[in-house]
Structure 1
Amino acid sequence: MGLRRRKIKARKNNEDPKQKEDNQQHESSMEDLPHDLSLDILLRLPVSSLIPVKLVCKSWYNFATSLHHEPHNHNNKNNPCLLVLSTPPHDQNHCIAEINVLYEIDNQDSYGVISKSIKQPMNRNILNVNTTLSCNGLLCLICLKNKFSYRVCIFNPLTEEYKYLPDMPSVSQTVTRLRHCKYIDNEDYLYQHFGFGFNPRTNEYKVVRIAGIHNITHMVTLKKKKPFNWDFDPKNFKQKVDVFTLSRTGVWRSNIDMPFACPVESSGAVVNGAIHWLCSGRGQFKESCIVVSFDLSDEKFRVIPNPPDCEMGQGCELLVLGGCFAITDYYARQIDIWVMQEHGVKGSWTKEIVIIENLPRVSLRSPQWIHPLCLLSSGKIVISYKRGALYCFDPEETEWLNIFIKRGLHPLDQFMAVSYTPSLVSPFLH
């Protein structure tokens, strides 16, 4: 046997060098495929199938992980999913690892179908999730760490990778509660608003926090059913902006000025590499709201022109529909959805959807309970109501369909829902 092995080895060593060179030239690998062909192959695959594709070769790994930084975004812009983060109905101080469950809802015409549950990254040091932001398959979870501070977690539900960001700079040590002390007499009021977006020019993800302290001289509670009045005196108003660039060496930067007052509670809508907030001028904010964008490239604030004949009051909400910036306007038991076809151009505003009140068990008298989430490829729009129900509205037929969400055999009492596009983008970006 040993002699036979030596003969075979000698035969291989005596192989014609020219024939050996020809055999090597005929050998090919995945890395030899043209870039356009490889990209076309990967774009035809479901995003969940790209996880094992990353193991084929180095070039396919780079293609798969960078696919969602490109404009086509794996053809998922027109077919978003929904992520639903349930919240505990009784004790809001329970840790998320035991109470909250993330569900992913497929964007199909079969409403009420839960595709799968997703493992969460939360630990026992986190009390609850206050805000959920989404961008290119990454979730930015703003978690309540304790009564005085928040913790930011970047999470990819598909790959289950997550990363906790360093603690944010302290805003004030005198405020005893965050976002829970909305009506205080003769004390400082602190608010924090967050945004999470992608800068296509530099391929960077950024988390932005707007934090302000306002000395309130006159505020009345909603229990008295009086107008909610703000007095924006520049002497009593302080505000700052913190930015974190997602990278291994990322740090919070706090040297950015915010020239607008931003007390309106809304999550930042991300369009065209900019985060948008609904801000206020002087006086009563329900009469003087403006839209302000924060460009993630040059980190400067700009004013976006308002839609025509839109009051831009407290009932307005900013969102993204079909990849375009949009504003919902609530008035007279009706919802108008304005879409800006060309970002930043005033003349590109069009009224796309008008929703008249015919939704079962929903009253448009409380517009803050109604939140449009995403536009389906069929033209229907998904709307959450009161953090306890999901509906699908058909503008052509003016029909409402109830989306039932269940955890096991029991319906979810309360939840947060965000539009979500699955991807392989890693929170650990260089």
Structure 2
Amino acid sequence: MMMMKILGEGSSFVEDFSGKFVNGTLNWLAFDGDNDNAYLTTFIVSLDLATEQYETLMAPVGRRDAGVEFLFSAALKGSLCIVANRHTEADYWVMKEHGNADSWTLLFRIPYCVAGFPQFLRIYTAPVCVSDDGDEVLLEYYLGKFIVYNSRIVSFKAPGVEVFKGSVLAAGVYAETLMSPTSK
């Protein structure tokens, strides 16, 4: 995972592969800390592309929360998503109203004890897209391999998509347009 020091911010580091584009902003998961006290506070650095100003937003969970092994971010259904991976489960949080830390909502929790769940899958399950009703989510779990999780019936299934070479971890869903992403 990439880790980059934020210039001029003391002991703050960005920990994402790439910024996630949501609502005219690019967003990176970051943390405060130093070598002796890493991961004190987890937050999001959000750069508004129209104003070229950035702000920090509090994450719904942090590295110091009970059992959190690692965090990563994604864009999901036009919202910023934070995945908190624990040893036995992963929580998928979405920010319903971008910029409002009070709008973080737990979208679903994936338990790793479900029958048929491959143990190596818990390493990194990136959400690619979610169904309209929010019951199913397509996850990439390893270099172009996918699985569908259904939260209503707590089950996994193969999506019928053939494995392709490469990874889509840094990919996102987009809509082709002639409008600038910074237009309001």
Q: If the length of structure 1 is used for normalisation, what is the TM-score?
A: 0.35
Q: 1:273 aligns with which of 24, 30, 34?
A: 24
Once the 2 structures are TM-superposed, how far is the Cα of residue 269 of structure 1 from its aligned partner?
Answer: 1.4
Once the 2 structures are TM-superposed, how far is the Cα of residue 259 of structure 1 from its aligned partner?
Answer: 3.4
- For residue 294 of structure 1, what is the aligned residue in structure 2? 47
- Structure 1 unaligned spans of 5+: 1-181, 183-190, 193-211, 213-236, 240-257
Shift in alpha-carbon separation, 1:338–1:265, aligned structure 2, 3 A: closer
Q: 1:325 aligns with which of 67, 74, 80?
A: 80
Shift in alpha-carbon separation, 1:365–1:393, aligned structure 2, 3 A: closer
4+ long deviations beyond 6 Å: none
**CA–CA distance in structure 1, aligned partners of residues 139 and 129 of structure 2:** 8
Q: Between Structure 1 and Structure 2, whose CA radius of gyration is higher?
A: 1
Percent of aligned pairs with the same amino acid: 20
Shift in alpha-carbon separation, 1:416–1:322, aligned structure 2, 3 A: closer
Q: Which amino acid aligns with 1:281?
A: D
Relative to its length, the structure with more strand (as a share) is: 2
SS of aligned partner of 1:347: helix
Relative to its length, the structure with more helix (as a share) is: 1
- For residue 386 of structure 1, what is the aligned residue in structure 2? 142
How many correspondences in the alignment? 169
Shift in alpha-carbon separation, 1:303–1:403, aligned structure 2, 3 A: same
**CA–CA distance in structure 2, aligned partners of residues 426 and 342 of structure 1:** 22
User: What do the CA deviations read for 1:193-243 (whole angstroms, capped 9, x no partner)?
Assistant: xxxxxxxxxxxxxxxxxxx5xxxxxxxxxxxxxxxxxxxxxxxx784xxxx
- For residue 353 of structure 1, what is the aligned residue in structure 2? 108
- For residue 153 of structure 1, what is the aligned residue in structure 2? none
Shift in alpha-carbon separation, 1:238–1:385, aligned structure 2, 3 A: closer
Shift in alpha-carbon separation, 1:298–1:391, aligned structure 2, 3 A: same
**CA–CA distance in structure 1, aligned partners of residues 129 and 153 of structure 2:** 18
- Structure 2 unaligned spans of 5+: none
User: What do the CA deviations read for 1:344-399 (whole angstroms, capped 9, x no partner)?
Assistant: 22222221211111253244653xx2211111224211100121410111111112
Q: Which amino acid aligns with 2:24?
A: G
**1:14-413 matched pairs, under 5 angstroms:** 239=7, 259=9, 261-284=12-35, 285-307=38-60, 310-312=61-63, 315-357=70-112, 358=114, 360-363=117-120, 366=123, 369-379=124-134, 380-406=136-162, 411-412=163-164
Shift in alpha-carbon separation, 1:414–1:361, aligned structure 2, 3 A: farther
Shift in alpha-carbon separation, 1:295–1:238, aligned structure 2, 3 A: closer
**CA–CA distance in structure 1, aligned partners of residues 158 and 59 of structure 2:** 32
Once the 2 structures are TM-superposed, how far is the Cα of residue 325 of structure 1 from its aligned partner?
Answer: 1.8
Q: Which amino acid aligns with 1:305?
A: M
**CA–CA distance in structure 2, aligned partners of residues 426 and 297 of structure 1:** 13
**CA–CA distance in structure 1, aligned partners of residues 99 and 179 of structure 2:** 31
User: What do the CA deviations read for 1:105-124 (whole angstroms, capped 9, x no partner)?
Assistant: xxxxxxxxxxxxxxxxxxxx
Shift in alpha-carbon separation, 1:423–1:413, aligned structure 2, 3 A: closer
